[in-house]
Structure 1
Amino acid sequence: MPNRKNKHKPRQHQAKRPRSEISTSESDISNTMAKSNVSYIEDTGFDQDFHTLNTLLETFSKDENTTKKAVTIILNHESFRSHISDILLEKVSTLESRIDSLEYQLDDLEQYSRRNCIKITGVAEGKEENTDEVALNVINKLILGPDKTSISLDKVERSHRVGKPRDDRPRDIIVKFTSYRDRALVYAKKSNLKTYNQNELNAHKIFINESLTRKRMDLLVATKKIFKEKRINSVWTYDGRIMAKTHTGKKWTITRSTDIDKLKEFIRSERPQPVTSTPAGR
């Protein structure tokens, strides 16, 4: 059989536009500008510059001169600058909100990883000490001893001093228990340290606190400052949360810096307002 010639014409492949090219129609730009309520009628020569900018955007590439021309037109008109500024501010605000949320979640996870830990402050420091034995000595003698209870070494997962050695005071000891139950038992009995701390012969007072993240420690310091100013009744921590009670008995949970501002505002609002008397005859 005779060879049949292919009657179909070969497809003509169109050249692909470079990725850097931005296709923006004039109607798209117009609609976008209209939606943003940008008033550009007052701009002198706006129509001419608008069409010029639209043409530049249609052929936008890596060409430096084209970029400079487009930027110059944008900067010369308040309408363009205002519109771009609004878009950027909205995106920045959204990103800041997301970052704040992620930082809070990360801090929450870090605090949860410390739920089995306590921090012991004021225990004398030795050169070749075993912090497990030092911590258990304080816990069993001073904290649990008065109630005739104790915990064994196998209940302690690990312990260590925090920071670099200092000459003015001993470093804190972080103790991590194998279970939250043992940690909660020790923390609940920390008030038994009052007898030891009231003895003037002891060189250092010993305190038991929760192991907080950096962010929550900063919140605790800020809340304690309000307490020292006698603006609230008390402040304490519970499972990594900063708690405060006002003089009217209202409890607050502090998790963010904005909660501190809300607490201060509430304190100002709950103060009794002075009563002003109206003179007789008026």
Structure 2
Amino acid sequence: MDALKDSLNTLAEMFEQKMSEFQQGLDNGPITNTSLAAEFNSFRTFVLFAMNTLQRQVEFLGIEVDRLEMRRRRKMLLVHGVSEDKSEDVTSRVCKVVGEHLGVTGFSVASIKSSHRLGRPSEKKPRPIVVKFADVALRDTVWFSKTGFKASGLTVSEFLTKSRHNLFMEARQRFGINKCWTRDGCIHIIAPDGSHHRAEWKADLHSIPQTSKQTSKPLTQCTASLTSRSKRTVKNK
């Protein structure tokens, strides 16, 4: 926040300096088309620089706010697929499915600080449940035991911010579902060349290579081999 204030103060000082220089040019002599065009170009360059600087600062501020929100969600998980009832006790339902499928020792209602359904009711499928655990260690125990939900119709996911959720969906679309996962609010990706990457915003995602350079050479050799065989077959005929 202090960095943003400093940037705004610097831009304000630069703006006042440019306006002062322009005013001095008006006071010192007659205005010509050439001088006016030069002043305009100089002022336009400054305005574009100022706008780009502000845009970068706003993006940086948005990233920091997003990180703070993810820290606030550190004790939370989303539980999907739990059947929904109008008169349900959400916390008791979560305790039941965790006890039946994950086998977490000592898990009880006291282990959950709060829980509620997310979104509006739907007849098509039950809404996910946002669960805030009493401490991070317990949350992590449930998270790393999530394979116990396999074949049950239940799943667990991290409670990502909207921007990170969209980023995760885009990453899965680009690199495949099995190549992307989340951990502690960050998106982890295995690129086609086998390298591991971590993404928090789009700039991270766009910097990841989408093609593998390692596979290009073997494919070329294979093609050359097939071409050579084809030539030998023609000669034999």
TM-score range, shorter chain: 0.7 to 0.9
Change (3 A) 1:93 1:141: same
After superposition, residues 1-282 of structure 1 pair within 5 angstroms as: 24=20, 29=25, 51-52=29-30, 77-144=36-103, 149-196=105-152, 205-228=153-176, 234-263=179-208, 266-268=209-211, 270-273=213-216, 274-275=219-220
Higher relative contact order (CA 8 A, sep 6+): 2
Q: Is the 8 A contact 2:180 2:189 kept in 1?
A: yes
- Provide the rounded CA distance (Å) in 2 between the counterparts of 1:184 and 1:253: 19
TM-score, L = length of structure 1: 0.65
How far apart are 1:167 and its partner, in Å?
Answer: 1.2
What RMSD in Å do the two structures reach over aligned CA positions? 3.1
- Which residue matches 2:13? none
| Consecutive unaligned residues in structure 2, runs of 5 or more | 1-17, 229-237
- Provide the rounded CA distance (Å) in 2 between the counterparts of 1:74 and 1:138: 78
Change (3 A) 1:242 1:25: closer
Change (3 A) 1:74 1:257: farther
| Consecutive unaligned residues in structure 1, runs of 5 or more | 1-21, 30-47, 54-72, 197-204
TM-score, L = length of structure 2: 0.77
Change (3 A) 1:237 1:49: same
- Provide the rounded CA distance (Å) in 1 between the counterparts of 2:86 and 2:23: 77
Q: Is the 8 A contact 1:160 1:175 kept in 2?
A: yes
Change (3 A) 1:26 1:118: closer
Q: Is the 8 A contact 2:78 2:159 kept in 1?
A: yes
Moved over 4 A (4+): 25-29, 73-76, 276-279
Which structure's residues are more often helix, by fraction? Answer: 2
Change (3 A) 1:112 1:74: farther
How far apart are 1:270 and its partner, in Å?
Answer: 2.8
Q: Is the 8 A contact 1:74 1:81 kept in 2?
A: no
Q: Which amino acid aligns with 2:136?
A: Y
Paired positions, count: 206
Query: What percentage of residue pairs aligned between the two structures are identical?
Result: 24
Q: Is the 8 A contact 2:192 2:211 kept in 1?
A: no
Change (3 A) 1:75 1:109: farther
- Which residue matches 1:11? none
